[in-house]
Amino acid sequence: MKLLFESLDSVFISYVRNMLEQEDIVTFIFDENISMLEGSIGAFQKRVMVIDDDYEAAHKTYFTLAEKYNE
Protein backbone atom coordinates (compact mmCIF):
# COMPACT_ATOMS: atom_id res chain seq x y z
CA MET A 1 0.00 0.00 0.00
CA LYS A 2 1.27 3.47 -0.90
CA LEU A 3 0.48 6.98 0.27
CA LEU A 4 -1.23 8.96 -2.47
CA PHE A 5 -1.60 12.21 -0.51
CA GLU A 6 -2.36 13.76 2.88
CA SER A 7 -4.91 16.48 3.49
CA LEU A 8 -7.06 18.23 6.06
CA ASP A 9 -9.65 19.05 3.37
CA SER A 10 -12.44 16.48 3.69
CA VAL A 11 -14.23 17.84 0.62
CA PHE A 12 -11.15 17.38 -1.56
CA ILE A 13 -10.56 13.90 -0.17
CA SER A 14 -14.14 12.90 -1.01
CA TYR A 15 -13.80 14.39 -4.48
CA VAL A 16 -10.59 12.48 -5.23
CA ARG A 17 -11.95 9.24 -3.77
CA ASN A 18 -15.07 9.49 -5.91
CA MET A 19 -13.09 10.11 -9.10
CA LEU A 20 -10.70 7.24 -8.34
CA GLU A 21 -13.60 4.87 -7.62
CA GLN A 22 -14.99 5.71 -11.06
CA GLU A 23 -11.70 4.36 -12.43
CA ASP A 24 -12.03 1.21 -10.27
CA ILE A 25 -9.21 2.30 -7.97
CA VAL A 26 -9.86 1.43 -4.33
CA THR A 27 -8.75 3.97 -1.74
CA PHE A 28 -8.25 3.69 2.00
CA ILE A 29 -8.33 6.55 4.49
CA PHE A 30 -5.84 6.34 7.35
CA ASP A 31 -6.02 8.54 10.47
CA GLU A 32 -9.65 9.49 9.83
CA ASN A 33 -10.78 8.75 13.38
CA ILE A 34 -7.98 10.65 15.11
CA SER A 35 -8.52 13.55 12.72
CA MET A 36 -12.19 13.76 13.76
CA LEU A 37 -11.36 13.44 17.47
CA GLU A 38 -8.89 16.29 17.52
CA GLY A 39 -11.46 18.76 16.20
CA SER A 40 -10.69 21.63 13.90
CA ILE A 41 -7.16 22.53 14.98
CA GLY A 42 -5.72 20.68 12.00
CA ALA A 43 -3.06 18.73 13.84
CA PHE A 44 -3.66 15.41 12.08
CA GLN A 45 -4.05 15.06 8.36
CA LYS A 46 -5.95 12.19 6.81
CA ARG A 47 -3.84 9.94 4.60
CA VAL A 48 -5.28 8.59 1.36
CA MET A 49 -3.70 5.25 0.49
CA VAL A 50 -3.93 3.05 -2.61
CA ILE A 51 -2.81 -0.45 -3.48
CA ASP A 52 0.71 -0.59 -4.93
CA ASP A 53 -0.50 -1.80 -8.33
CA ASP A 54 -2.91 1.16 -8.65
CA TYR A 55 -0.47 3.84 -7.53
CA GLU A 56 0.66 5.12 -10.95
CA ALA A 57 -2.87 5.49 -12.32
CA ALA A 58 -4.10 7.00 -9.05
CA HIS A 59 -1.22 9.49 -8.96
CA LYS A 60 -1.97 10.72 -12.49
CA THR A 61 -5.63 11.21 -11.64
CA TYR A 62 -4.82 12.88 -8.32
CA PHE A 63 -2.34 15.29 -9.91
CA THR A 64 -4.89 16.35 -12.55
CA LEU A 65 -7.63 16.82 -9.96
CA ALA A 66 -5.37 18.74 -7.58
CA GLU A 67 -4.44 21.21 -10.32
CA LYS A 68 -8.11 21.81 -11.20
CA TYR A 69 -9.21 22.03 -7.56
CA ASN A 70 -6.60 24.65 -6.69
CA GLU A 71 -7.34 26.95 -9.64
SS (H, E, C) the chain: CEEEEEECCHHHHHHHHHHHHHCCCCEEEECHHHHHHCCCCCCCCEEEEECHHHHHHHHHHHHHHHHHHCC
| Residue-number span of the structural domain to which 23 is assigned | 2-69
Using 50, 70 and 90 to split pLDDT, how confident is the model at 32? confident
Instruction: Report how many domains make up the chain.
Output: 1
Query: Average pLDDT of the chain?
Result: 89
pTM of the shown model: 0.82
| CATH number for the domain harbouring residue 20 | 3.30.70.790
Question: What pLDDT does 36 receive?
Answer: 61
Greater model confidence, 38 or 6: 6
